[in-house]
């Protein structure tokens, strides 16, 4: 079978299985890069595939600057593709056999406290001085990411019907696990979102369905949020890690600094495994000195 046909058939199968939009996009992106590389190597048919070919492709990706996490993500998708082709009788042997995941740094990417303070001061100042649609919206996006721990995909899929001001809840209909869930809505974030809702109703003459929109009232995209954060980082000259997902790590860090316990943080961050939450505890141990000083076990003993 032609490799291009095997690509298309797997995508069709995954769509039929109800794979999430993001996961489908991952396959499409991989097959685009892989297909281009196959063409340069003059590899056209599935019978030409082997573990050696897949290893060669992954080495090519590493030489192009792909990080270990990206390489592993590609390998996982390739394993799924290989397994499917074996099951369908397209190939006889697993083309990923013996190829192991490579070691990656799984420490959470942490934003420096001074960079967060700098960004929030800048956004507050722009909101106050410009009082424009974009300055108000972008400030609200930032405080929502930090104040809720939402992932960027969850943020852009939020509708006003998902925000229950009366019960102080945010309903998450499109989560990473594809299960509907909810997170508490703090008083401070509720105030910011309520203010944004009032502003946008006056600006557009109606309440749009999505919480975050452009000037036409259309839903803001994931790429739109990423571009906003990228420009903010550039404009402020921030050198360290600074991304939409990193704001979720800020959310977790501040819970820890405000003395939330491990189980509470796991529930609020919606980590499926508490081991994920423990990574943050270990990473922030050096910042727990103030907590230790306040609750010093030796106080009153020496």
Going by the DSSP 8-state scheme, the letter that residue 203 receives in this structure is H
Interval 148-160: pLDDT, tens: 999 999 999 999 9
Token pair belonging to 243: 């991304």
Asked whether 95 and 48 are in contact (CB, 8 A), the reply is no
What is residue 176's predicted lDDT score, i.e. its pLDDT? 54
Q: Where in the chain is the domain with CATH 1.10.443.10?
A: 113-292
| Predicted confidence band of residue 286 (pLDDT cuts 50, 70, 90) | low
Per-residue pLDDT at 282 exceeds 90: no
Asked whether 14 and 23 are in contact (CB, 8 A), the reply is yes
Q: Where in the chain is the domain with CATH 1.10.150?
A: 3-87
| Predicted confidence band of residue 116 (pLDDT cuts 50, 70, 90) | very high
What is residue 82's predicted lDDT score, i.e. its pLDDT? 94
What is residue 130's predicted lDDT score, i.e. its pLDDT? 92
Asked whether 97 and 51 are in contact (CB, 8 A), the reply is yes
What is residue 287's predicted lDDT score, i.e. its pLDDT? 58
What is residue 295's predicted lDDT score, i.e. its pLDDT? 61
Q: What is the CATH T-level fold of the domain 113-292, as seen in this structure? A: hpI Integrase; Chain A (1.10.443)
What is residue 33's predicted lDDT score, i.e. its pLDDT? 93
Interval 205-234: pLDDT, tens: 999 999 999 999 999 999 999 999 999 999
Q: At a CB cut-off of 8 Å and minimum separation 6, what does 28 contact?
A: 11
- The CATH class, in words, for 3-87 is mainly alpha
The three-state secondary structure class of 181 is strand
Interval 14-40: pLDDT, tens: 888 888 887 888 999 999 999 999 999
Mean pLDDT of 164-168: 94
Mean pLDDT of 73-82: 94
Interval 233-273: pLDDT, tens: 999 999 988 999 889 888 888 887 777 888 888 888 888 88
Report how far residue 165's alpha carbon sits from residue 160's, in angstroms, rounded to the nearest whole number: 10
């Amino acid at each position: 079978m032609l490799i291009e046909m095997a690509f298309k058939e797997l995508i069709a199968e995954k769509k039929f299985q109800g794979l999430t939009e993001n996961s489908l996009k991952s396959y499409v992106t991989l097959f685009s890069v892989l297909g281009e590389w196959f063409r340069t190597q003059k590899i056209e048919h599935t019978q030409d595939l082997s573990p050696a070919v897949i290893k060669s492709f992954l080495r090519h990706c590493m030489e192009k600057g792909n990080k270990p996490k990206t390489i592993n993500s590609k390998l996982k998708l390739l394993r799924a593709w290989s397994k499917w082709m074996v099951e369908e009788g397209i190939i006889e042997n697993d083309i990923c056999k013996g190829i192991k995941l490579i070691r990656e740094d799984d420490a959470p990417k942490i934003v420096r406290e001074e960079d967060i303070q700098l960004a929030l001061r800048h956004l507050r100042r722009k909101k106050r001085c410009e009082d424009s649609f974009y300055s108000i919206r972008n400030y609200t996006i930032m405080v929502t990411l930090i104040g809720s721990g939402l992932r960027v995909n969850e943020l852009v899929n939020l509708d006003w019907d998902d925000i229950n001001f009366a019960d102080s809840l945010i309903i998450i209909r499109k989560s990473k696990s594809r299960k509907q869930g909810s997170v508490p809505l703090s008083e401070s974030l509720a105030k910011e979102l309520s203010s944004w809702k009032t502003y946008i109703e006056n600006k557009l003459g109606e309440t749009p369905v999505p919480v975050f929109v452009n000037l036409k009232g259309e839903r803001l995209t994931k790429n739109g949020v990423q571009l906003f954060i990228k420009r903010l980082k550039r404009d402020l000259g921030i050198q360290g890690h600074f991304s939409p997902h990193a704001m979720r790590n800020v959310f977790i860090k501040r819970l820890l600094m405000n003395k939330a316990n491990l189980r509470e943080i796991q529930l609020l961050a919606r980590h499926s495994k508490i081991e994920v939450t423990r990574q943050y505890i270990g990473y922030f141990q050096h910042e727990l000195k103030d907590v230790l000083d306040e609750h010093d076990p030796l106080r009153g003993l020496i």
